Amino acid sequence: MTKTDLSETALSPEKIRFTASIFLYSVLAGHIVLLQKFFVQKNFLTAITLMVILFSAFLCGFLATRWKALRRNGWLPRIQQGFLINAAGMLFVVAASFGNNIWFSLISGVIISGLGQGIIFMTLKEQNRYEIFSVREHIHRSVLILAGMVFTAGICLITQSAFVDMTGFPYAFSLLLDLSLLGALYINISQQGG
């Protein structure tokens, strides 16, 4: 397939943003559900603390997109960087769920993945600001995003529950890592096609 063929089948920016939104919200939902299940079984206060850390890091990533160094890139590279940062954070969380040096890896992973998610969210929000959708299309998109979130959270919980006690968590978090990398790959393919 030549460059000309790719550009003829290129996705519209609106479809790219919508698909990236599904990836983002699905990973975020799975991340929250798994962190809560992982620590509510051990300590409720720890679960709440991790949520505060995740949302604080998310806010920092959200605000970091206002930094001029990040704004030099176009919106697609920023989204791709956000997915890659999120994947790096998930890698730390996977390492933590194996039980080695759990607190350092876990908190680092939650902070890094939260930063990546915040970068993606803010970039998508900036790009969607100028889009006008009908009420029907808005409802359709919301239902698809919600379905992706529920599906991902459900698959993560089923994966974790398929193993005895805590041994399923690395595999469930690995699904989120794969989904983040798939989001980055999707954006990369979209860039090549544009």
CB 79 within 8 A of CB 123: yes
Q: pTM of this prediction?
A: 0.85
Instruction: Tell me whether residue 37 is in a domain.
Output: yes
Instruction: Tell me whether residue 127 is in a domain.
Output: yes
State residue 5's pLDDT score: 46
State residue 84's pLDDT score: 95
State residue 120's pLDDT score: 92
State residue 48's pLDDT score: 85
Instruction: Tell me whether residue 1 is in a domain.
Output: no
State residue 125's pLDDT score: 85
Instruction: Tell me whether residue 4 is in a domain.
Output: no
Amino acid at 89: G
Name the domain count of the chain. 1
CATH number, domain at 107?
1.20.1250.20
Owning domain of residue 162: 9-189
Amino acid at 68: K
Tell me the per-residue pLDDT of 87-119, one tens digit each, with 9 for 90 and over: 999 999 888 877 656 788 888 999 999 999 999
State residue 2's pLDDT score: 47
| Regions of the chain short of the pLDDT cut 70 | 1-10, 41-42, 69-71, 99-101, 127-133, 194
Query: Between the CA of residue 77 and those of 2, 72, 119, 170, 192, what are the distances in Å?
Result: 22, 10, 11, 29, 11
State residue 132's pLDDT score: 64
CB 90 within 8 A of CB 173: yes
Phi-psi region of 164 (alpha: psi -120 to 50; beta: other; left: phi over 0): beta
